[in-house]
């Protein structure tokens, strides 16, 4: 695969603006959504109209909605039934707005995705997903200044209270889960298909966790071949300056770290890691070559 432009200006509009009218308003309650512009650009880059796009951890269905608007078909899996239902409702909303692709969503644990979706084995052109992690930086807040009440009120910061959700696991179990999901997704890809995942480094108790680096190793162990790493901007590009779109929590964590002497910055991008499924060896060609070998 030829490497493509490595920085995408995907943060020109705020997340809320990108979703207005295109997604049902209750979608904003999900704590860790992918930017629609990132999903749309990945789908446009790696697939053709009529092809199948899968998201194994689809949340409220951003990948699926952008896929059907671009004339692709989409299938999603989501552990939490509530988010899965909202993804279905967002897909119906997209169809009402004229999207031409079809989408389906199944509530389930994506660690068994190839077993749960046997009809889709070897069918997908693209698997696009964003995994759960670093829940400390999610959610909505209202400070005393806005609410008039003492302290900071925080809400919508959890995917659920189910401890089995991968969002609530420590790093080893999380990575083991990613390995199972990526290996299953590899089975769903057609030869030459692509897996793309957005991830960011995050801090856990002040320590930097290189999640993109971990995901790269896990994907390679799952049989995928690393192809590209693209920077998807979350900040906007203004007249000669970056337009900050960091959340309250990112700024709060950065300030807290700096007060302790750590040189922390608020992240203004997501890493998009791109992997391919290796093509199967052509057995006929290798047999012919061996027969012609004089030794």
Ligand X SMILES: C[S@@+](CC[C@H](N)C(=O)[O-])C[C@H]1O[C@@H](n2cnc3c(N)ncnc32)[C@H](O)[C@@H]1O
Short-list 45, 46, 88, CA closest to 65: 88
Q: How far is the CB of 162 from ligand X (least distance, A)?
A: 8
Per CB under 6 A, the segment of 6-14, 57-65, 208-216, 273-281 that binds ligand X is: 57-65
Judge contact between 184 and 110, C-beta under 8 A.
yes
Q: How far is the CB of 23 from ligand X (least distance, A)?
A: 9
Q: Residues 6 or more apart from 65 whose CB is under 8 A from it?
A: 22, 23, 36, 39, 90, 91, 93, 94, 99, 103
H/E segment holding residue 270: strand 269-276
Q: How far is Cα 154 from Cα 144, in angstroms, rounded to an integer?
A: 11
Q: How far is the CB of 281 from ligand X (least distance, A)?
A: 32
Q: Which of 79, 178, 249, 275 binds ligand X (CB under 6 A)?
A: 79
Site string for ligand X, 87-126 (x = CB under 6 A): ----------------------xxx---------------
Range in contact with ligand X (rule: CB under 6 A) among 58-66, 203-211, 214-222, 267-275? 58-66
Alpha-helical (H) ranges within 97-246 are 113-116, 144-147, 171-188, 211-221
Residue closer to ligand X (CB basis): 70 or 166:
166
Angle, to 10 degrees, between the axis of helix 62-69 and the axis of helix 81-96? 20
Q: Decide whether 78 or 271 has the Cβ nearer to ligand X.
A: 78
Scan residues 154-173 and list those touching ligand X (CB under 6 A). 159, 165-167
By CB under 6 A, name the one of 83, 178, 202, 275 that touches ligand X.
83
Q: Least distance from C-beta 83 to ligand X, angstroms?
A: 5
**Coil vs helix vs strand at 237:** strand
Tell whether residue 249 is a contact of ligand X (CB under 6 A): no
Question: Rounded distance, CA 100 to CA 50, Å?
Answer: 9
Backbone torsions φ then ψ of 74, nearest 5 degrees? -145, 145
According to CB under 6 A, which one of 80, 176, 187, 228 is a site residue for ligand X?
Answer: 80
- Rounded least distance, CB 8 to ligand X, Å: 17
Which positions touch ligand X (CB under 6 A)? 30, 32-34, 57-63, 77-80, 83, 109-111, 130-132, 159, 165-167, 177
């Amino acid at each position: 695969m030829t490497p493509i432009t490595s920085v995408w200006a995907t943060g020109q509009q705020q997340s809320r603006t990108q979703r207005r009218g295109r997604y049902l308003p209750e979608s904003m309650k999900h704590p860790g959504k992918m930017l629609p512009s990132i999903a749309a650009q990945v789908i446009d880059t790696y697939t053709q109209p009529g092809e199948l796009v899968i998201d194994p951890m689809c949340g409220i269905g951003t990948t699926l909605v952008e896929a059907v608007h671009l004339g692709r078909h989409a299938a999603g899996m989501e552990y939490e039934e509530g988010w899965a239902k909202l993804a279905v409702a967002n897909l119906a909303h997209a169809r009402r707005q004229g999207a031409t692709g079809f989408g389906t969503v199944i509530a389930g644990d994506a660690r068994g995705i190839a077993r749960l979706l046997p009809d889709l084995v070897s069918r997908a052109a693209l698997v696009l997903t964003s995994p759960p992690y670093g829940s400390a930086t999610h959610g909505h807040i209202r400070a005393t200044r806005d609410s008039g009440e003492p302290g900071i009120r925080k809400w919508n910061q959890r995917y659920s209270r189910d401890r089995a959700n991968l969002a609530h696991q420590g790093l080893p179990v999380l990575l083991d889960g990613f390995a199972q999901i990526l290996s299953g997704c590899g089975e769903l890809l057609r030869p030459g298909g692509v897996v793309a995942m957005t991830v960011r480094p995050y801090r856990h108790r002040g320590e930097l966790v290189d999640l993109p680096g971990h995901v790269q190793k896990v994907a390679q162990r799952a049989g995928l071949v690393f192809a590209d790493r693209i920077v998807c901007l979350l900040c906007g590009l203004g007249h000669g300056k970056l337009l900050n779109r960091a959340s309250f929590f990112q700024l709060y964590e950065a300030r807290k770290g700096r007060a302790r002497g750590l040189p922390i910055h608020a992240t203004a991008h997501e890493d998009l890691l791109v992997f391919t499924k290796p093509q199967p060896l052509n057995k006929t060609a290798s047999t012919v070559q061996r027969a012609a070998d004089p030794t």
